[in-house]
């Protein structure tokens, strides 16, 4: 006699939220492949998800009384709005709080020293507590959105309404949301380039005559660094490249131009930017001259254009930032100046050309944006009034001139 066995369907075990976050960050890194831009994005999103985990621990453990490990079902359609509210209020971290307290104590000590027992002296108000910058909040939200969209696409969040979560975030931010924070670019930005132009590259041979090989080695490295930094700020000023695009440049792209006598006036270089979008930028003859001097002094077979400290590696993004910040400090340029300021500078020059303004679609192509909306929002929030007035005067007609006979 046959025995039949009844099979009961077992409920699949619910996924844990943090293991899903880890799977997502691993997915980003594997998808990035060898693209430096994609790898940078993957790493920045991975760092952002650390903050998302911190939010879950604090918001759900303390306020909603949910214990770890957290199941994915705790994510409701208010999660993005709750995350935004939390980011807007929470101090970034203890290190920044400590730095702010130290700055306040230092300012108070200075005031006390400058105004001893002065009854008329009113001390300045205390410094506001540190908060995440608007751009940082937007980046963290973008990472959280991408994670949620990925989890929904993988069917890990069956009951989660991503569209509703986005609408609730948008509606919640409508009352107190901020527009894109447009930082004013220092009009003397070019002073950074001039600073490096005027910086004397050490004469390694003269400085180390009669000294050890090690001394000659270090003197030569200092000379190469000065020539490299000079070439970097010139290329940034010419092209408005993103830092990741600059660090990904290779010698192949300009080698033929460097062998030409004389050097060409401009050389077209193809770069790969965000979203693996390719575009062409033009490096001027002046920049080529500085690149040529740097490569001749470097004397190595590496195909990397701007080399870093480690053999066979390109210069790091952090080092490019340091080069620009050091130049800005030496030249007396705004403290908020970084490599991206050159991008804003180039866009403003293109938009504000009174004689022959560049159409926004062309600026979009030059900067490598996916949409002209990005170009308009970030780089051209205010149209030049002088250019608008000139266009209006040109288009105006007298009433009698418009009558068609």
User: Does one domain contain both 302 and 367?
Assistant: yes
242 is known as an active-site residue: yes
pLDDT band at 51 (very low <50, low <70, confident <90, very high): very high
Highest-confidence range of 158-167, 230-239, 258-267, by mean pLDDT?
A: 230-239
Domain membership flag for residue 184: no
CA-to-CA distance for 256 and 264, rounded, in angstroms?
10
What are all long-range contacts of 193-199, with beta carbons under 8 Å and residues at least 24 apart? 193/233, 193/234, 193/237, 193/327, 194/331, 195/327, 195/330, 195/331, 196/226, 196/229, 196/230, 196/233, 196/234, 196/327, 197/230, 199/226, 199/229, 199/230
Closest by Cα among 178, 172, 177 to 82: 172
Q: How many CB atoms lie within 10 A of CB 344?
A: 20
379 is known as an active-site residue: yes
User: Does one domain contain both 64 and 195?
Assistant: no
pLDDT on residue 6: 47
pLDDT on residue 11: 41
Higher pLDDT among residues 390 and 249, named by residue: 249
Quote the crossing angle between the two packed helices 213-239 and 340-351, to the nearest 10°.
30
34 is known as an active-site residue: no
Q: What average pLDDT does the segment 162-178 reach?
A: 73
Q: Each residue of 239-258: pLDDT tens digit?
A: 889 888 899 899 888 888 88
Domain membership flag for residue 63: yes
27 is known as an active-site residue: no
Q: For residue 43, give Cα distances in angstroms to 53, 297, 322.
A: 16, 34, 20
Task: Write down the catalytic residue from 251, 340, 348, 376.
Answer: 340
Domain membership flag for residue 74: yes
User: Does one domain contain both 194 and 233?
Assistant: yes
Q: Note if the pTM is more than 0.85.
A: no
User: Does one domain contain both 150 and 243?
Assistant: no
User: Does one domain contain both 240 and 310?
Assistant: yes
pLDDT on residue 232: 96
Task: Write down the catalytic residue from 274, 298, 317, 387.
Answer: 274
Domain hosting 42: range is: 17-90+132-174
Q: Each residue of 316-359: pLDDT tens digit?
A: 989 999 999 999 999 998 866 889 888 888 877 777 666 666 67
User: Does one domain contain both 266 and 358?
Assistant: yes
223 is known as an active-site residue: no
183 is known as an active-site residue: no
Quote the crossing angle between the two packed helices 134-153 and 79-89, to the nearest 10°.
160
Task: Write down the catalytic residue from 242, 290, 294, 344.
Answer: 242
Q: What's the domain count of the chain?
A: 2
pLDDT on residue 384: 56
User: Does one domain contain both 204 and 252?
Assistant: yes
Domain membership flag for residue 59: yes
pLDDT on residue 100: 54
User: Does one domain contain both 161 and 207?
Assistant: no
Higher pLDDT among residues 363 and 354, named by residue: 363
Closest by Cα among 347, 351, 396 to 368: 347
């Amino acid at each position: 006699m046959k025995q039949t066995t009844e099979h009961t369907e077992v409920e699949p075990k619910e996924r844990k939220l943090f293991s899903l976050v880890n799977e997502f960050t691993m997915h980003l890194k594997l998808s990035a492949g060898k693209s430096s831009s994609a790898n940078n994005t993957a790493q920045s999103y991975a760092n952002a998800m650390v903050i998302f985990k911190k939010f879950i621990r604090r918001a759900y453990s303390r306020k909603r009384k949910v214990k770890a490990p957290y199941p994915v079902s705790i994510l409701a359609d208010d999660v993005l709005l709750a995350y935004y509210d939390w980011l807007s209020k929470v101090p970034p971290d203890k290190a920044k709080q400590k730095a702010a307290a130290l700055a306040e104590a230092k300012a108070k000590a200075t005031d006390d020293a400058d105004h001893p027992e002065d009854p008329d002296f009113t001390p300045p108000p205390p410094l506001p507590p540190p908060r995440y910058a608007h751009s940082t909040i937007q980046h963290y939200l973008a990472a959280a959105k991408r994670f949620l969209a990925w989890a929904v696409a993988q069917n890990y969040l069956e009951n989660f309404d991503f569209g509703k979560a986005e609408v609730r975030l948008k509606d919640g931010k409508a009352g107190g949301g901020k527009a894109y924070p447009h930082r004013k670019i220092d009009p003397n930005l070019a002073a950074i380039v001039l600073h490096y132009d005027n910086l004397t590259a050490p004469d390694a041979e003269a400085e180390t005559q009669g000294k050890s090989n090690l001394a000659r080695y270090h003197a030569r490295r200092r000379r190469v660094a000065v020539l490299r930094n000079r070439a970097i700020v010139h290329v940034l000023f010419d092209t408005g490249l993103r830092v990741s695009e600059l660090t990904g440049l290779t010698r192949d792209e300009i080698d033929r131009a460097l062998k030409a006598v004389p050097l060409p006036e401009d050389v077209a270089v193809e770069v790969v930017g965000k979203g693996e979008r390719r575009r062409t930028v033009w490096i001027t003859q002046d920049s080529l001259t500085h690149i040529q001097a740097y490569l001749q002094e470097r004397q190595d077979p590496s195909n990397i254009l701007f080399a870093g400290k480690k053999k066979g590696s390109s210069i790091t993004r952090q080092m490019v930032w340091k080069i620009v910040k050091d130049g800005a400090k030496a030249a007396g340029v705004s403290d908020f100046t970084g490599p991206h300021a050159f991008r804003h500078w180039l866009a403003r020059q293109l938009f504000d050309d009174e004689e022959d303004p560049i159409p926004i679609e062309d600026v979009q192509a030059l900067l490598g944006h996916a949409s002209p909306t990005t170009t308009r929002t970030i780089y051209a929030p205010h149209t030049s009034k002088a250019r608008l007035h000139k266009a209006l005067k040109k288009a105006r007609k007298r009433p009698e001139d418009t009558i068609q006979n």
